[in-house]
Amino acid sequence: MMKELFPKEHVVGFVGSLILTLAALSVITFDMSKGIAMTILSVTALAQAVVQLVLFMHIGETEDKKTLYTSVIYAVVVGLVTVFGSLLTMIWGY
């Protein structure tokens, strides 16, 4: 009974996202090269996104795969446009 009531996924997700945030924070606490820092940031950011989507938003539990893929593709397109568009306007094309 208690096992069913205990929100295991949420606790794992919460602790996991805290650890990932601390790992990302290490980039400014410790002295490291830009390459290593960017690698750490990218990896933790992706892992963070996976934690949020899987453990909190229950992606993959839906039967409606069409809607799911449409939303994921839409999100990825908007995300990429925002990130690379900002890089384009602020740095590459400045």
Q: Which residues bind another protein (CB under 8 A)?
A: 67, 74-75, 77-78, 81-82, 85-86, 88-90, 93-94
Give the nearer residue to another protein in terms of CB position, either 26 or 82.
82
Q: How far is the CB of 5 from another protein (least distance, A)?
A: 10
Shortest gap between Cβ of 77 and another protein (angstroms)? 7
Q: Hey, is 93 helix, strand or coil?
A: coil
Question: Which residue, among 52, 91, 44, has the nearest Cα to 75 in the 3D structure?
Answer: 52
The values of phi and psi at residue 5, to 5°, are -80, -30
**Residue closer to another protein, measured from CB, 36 or 87:** 87
Nearer to another protein, 38 or 81 (CB): 81
User: Within 13 Å and on the Cβ side, how many CA atoms surround 27?
Assistant: 17
Give least dist CB 66 to another protein, A: 11
Greatest Cα pair distance in the chain: 61
